[in-house]
Amino acid sequence: MTGYEDIPNRLEVIQSRIHAACMRSGRTCDSITLLAVSKFHPAEAVAKAYEAGLRVFGENRVQEAVEKFNSPLIKPLRNTIQVHFQGHLQSNKINKALELFDCIQSLDSLELIEQLIKRLSIRLAPLEVLFELHTGEASKAGFLEESALLKALERVLEVPQIKPRGLMTMAPFTSDTDAIRASFRKCKKLFEHIQKTYKIPDFTVLSMGMSNDFEIAVEEGSTLLRIGTAIFGERTYE
């Protein structure tokens, strides 16, 4: 018994909580995408989540993701799902990342952007990206300065094959809801500034909220929730 048979029930609870958060904040549930963070979980878990209706998955280890999403169980589904990368992307993994991922959520430096640009020729489809803004979690990556993020955004706008879709952030892991809200509000403020100033087509994704804080993220305007443990259960670390 893997424990993944309970995914439909877990998902029902999550969706109910999302619905309640939407009601509190005057939003509709169809404005929010649920991304299943499948890192450290096997292909069988992805298959169960797919059966339950999930179509967007997130990973933070390139090699693990390549093996999982090219496995005989998942590869036939590949054209019907999206796979996002949301970890720190090492330069020696860029080629494999460009071959697999539909979106890189964790653009966190101009250096990484330049490396991606140099290797885009191995990819046929446009690459969707989110810019990661550091808003409070000391151990996490992301642009520390908004000015640096904007400079990186302007560089990406020069490259037609890269499609900037929005921002991503990670709130501090804390029980202090005020600190969590402050993190999300900082990211949303910059998000709205970019929308107003740059008028980028399809710059509509605000990736905020994980298993421990997704209801607050919904209330603060998130359009994409990255949920792992609440869907799959505790991870098995290698």
Question: What pLDDT is attached to residue 67?
Answer: 98
- Is 51 within the bounds of a domain? yes
Q: How confident is the model at residue 99 (pLDDT cuts 50, 70, 90)?
A: very high
pLDDT, average across residues 68-73: 98
Both structure tokens of 52: 């339950």
**pLDDT tens for each residue of 27-51:** 999 999 999 999 999 999 999 999 9
- pLDDT-based confidence at 158, cuts 50/70/90? very high
User: Span 189-214, mean pLDDT?
Assistant: 97
* pLDDT for residue 193: 98
| Residue 237 domain-assigned (yes or no) | no
DSSP letters for 120-178: GGG--SPEEEEEEBP-S-TT--SBSSHHHHHHHHHHHTT-TTEEEEEEE----SSS-HH
Length of the chain: 238
Q: Hey, which residues does 84 pair with through a beta bridge? A: 58, 103
Q: Which of 50-54, 56-60, 81-85, 171-175 has the lowest mean pLDDT?
A: 171-175
Tell me whether residue 141 is in a domain: yes
Identity of the residue numbered 98: L
228's CB contacts (< 8 A; 6+ apart) are: 36, 37, 38, 39, 41, 58, 210, 211, 235
In a domain, 86, yes or no: yes
pLDDT digits (tens, 9 = 90+) for 88-98: 999 999 999 99
Specify if 74 maps to a domain. Answer: yes
- pLDDT above 70: residue 166: yes
Question: How far is residue 58's CA from residue 64's CA, in Å, rounded to a whole number?
Answer: 11
Residue 238 domain flag: no
Per DSSP bridges, beta strands 127-132 and 103-107 are parallel
**Residue ranges making up the domain that contains 89:** 4-232
In a domain, 146, yes or no: yes
Looking up residue 80, the CATH number of its domain turns out to be 3.20.20.10
pLDDT of residue 139: 58
For the chain, the average pLDDT equals 95
Q: pLDDT at residue 1 above 60?
A: no
Per-residue pLDDT, averaged over 158-173, amounts to 96
Q: Is the pLDDT of residue 237 over 60?
A: no
Cα end-to-end distance, the chain, whole Å: 19
Count of domains forming the chain: 1
216-223 mean pLDDT:
98
